[in-house]
Amino acid sequence: MKHLVTGGSGFLGNLIARRLLERGEDVTILDIWEDPSRPKEIKYINCDIRNRDDVAKAMKGVDIVHHNVALVPLTKSGGKFWEVNVVGSRIAAEEATKAKVKGFIHMSSSALYGLPPSCPITAETPLNPIEIYGRGKKAGEEAVRGVLDEEGIPLVVIRPRTILGEGRLGIFQILFEWIKEGRNIYVIGTGNVGFQFVHAHDLMDFYMLALDADKPGVYNVGTERFGTLREGLENLVKHAETETNVRSLPEWLTINGLKLADMLHLSPLAPWHYLTYHKEFFFDVQPLVDMGWKPKYSNDEMFRESYDWFLENFDRVKVEEAASAHRKPVKEALLKVVKWFS
């Protein structure tokens, strides 16, 4: 079958495209940036998801669309969140229906749940995004569903927890670099809250299972084995064998301080980070396990692997020119001052 992966040069889109290629599928990626490491067997189309005419051309003859184009919280894109994550998603869905595709897989976000009233999060948990990125992802998902449902095209929606794995940078690059240098790292509040991540390869395993199952629906994906956020960070520090300590910061003062720094463009952290990372957040993944999925990585195992990859690739990371927000280093801005005192 012929597959089109939008956002195929990004962290997840790249993994999806390569998994499909390994299965012998005909794969094309659509992106505004070409990954120089892209296997030559994967075709590349330079296209902005907001360009309807070019998207329509890319959809011709496609069987399955894997929609991953999205501006992530780290980009702090303001109004562009709506342009890309909502309008762009609607364009992708509309042109996919015109091309009469057989199926559509939409990469969504756990940000749709905002601050859930209780955990584990299940299919019954209400969607209540609390910041601009989450609201845009919710509207984008709803736009896609509205278009595809009207045409009767099967839709699979994936909502992953925060992703770790080899090559994952973004804000984790800051965390890993501080630990490498033996600087203290911080949690908002006690950090003693259940907090779930997902390894990129475990996510891909379920993604392919959902593709093969031909079972439309919404799937929340996270690891089965996790503890508190503080435990995860303390265990990573033990693995790193540095002088780093995990320190607590007062909730109200820290959140409002980070909010002000964000408004003044002095911090790399976005609202999704500082408004939610002090609260418990984890999915009930039993429905996925019942489908035959078995995640291989615990929080601790994926943290260790991600950190070790960072150490091995530190020099390259410092000069990384990848256009994907989750595949390149982040400027610390005001956090560099905090680092000096850590």
pLDDT digits (tens, 9 = 90+) for 292-319: 999 999 999 999 999 999 998 876 655 4
How does pLDDT run across 8-61, given as a tens digit for each residue? 998 899 999 999 999 999 999 999 999 888 999 999 999 999 999 999 999 999
E-strand spans in the chain? 2-6, 26-31, 43-46, 64-67, 103-107, 155-160, 162-164, 185-188, 197-199, 217-221, 246-249
Arithmetic mean of pLDDT over the chain? 90
> How does pLDDT run across 246-281, given as a tens digit for each residue?
999 999 999 999 999 888 888 888 888 889 999 999
**Average of pLDDT values for 155-165?**
96
Please tell me whether the peptide bond between 120 and the residue prior to it is cis, using omega within 30 degrees of 0. Answer: yes
Provide the whole-model pTM: 0.90
Whole-number Å distance between alpha carbons of 175 and 57: 42
Distance CA 102, CA 21 (A): 19
> What residue type is 291 in one-letter code?
M
pLDDT of residue 335: 57
Name the helix (H) or strand (E) containing 212: helix 200-213
Under DSSP, the state recorded for 188 is E
Asked which of 39-43, 142-146, 225-229, 328-332 is least confident by mean pLDDT, the reply is: 328-332
Sketch out the chain's domains with CATH numbers.
Answer: 2-162+197-221 (3.40.50.720), 165-196+225-283+296-340 (3.90.25)
**Averaged pLDDT for residues 99-125:** 96
For position 318, what pLDDT does the model report? 53
Tokens for 116, please give them. 């859930």
Distances (CA, A) of 22 to 25, 42, 66: 7, 11, 16
Segment 282-291 shows an average pLDDT of 97
* pLDDT attached to residue 152: 95
Terminal C-alpha separation, the chain: 53
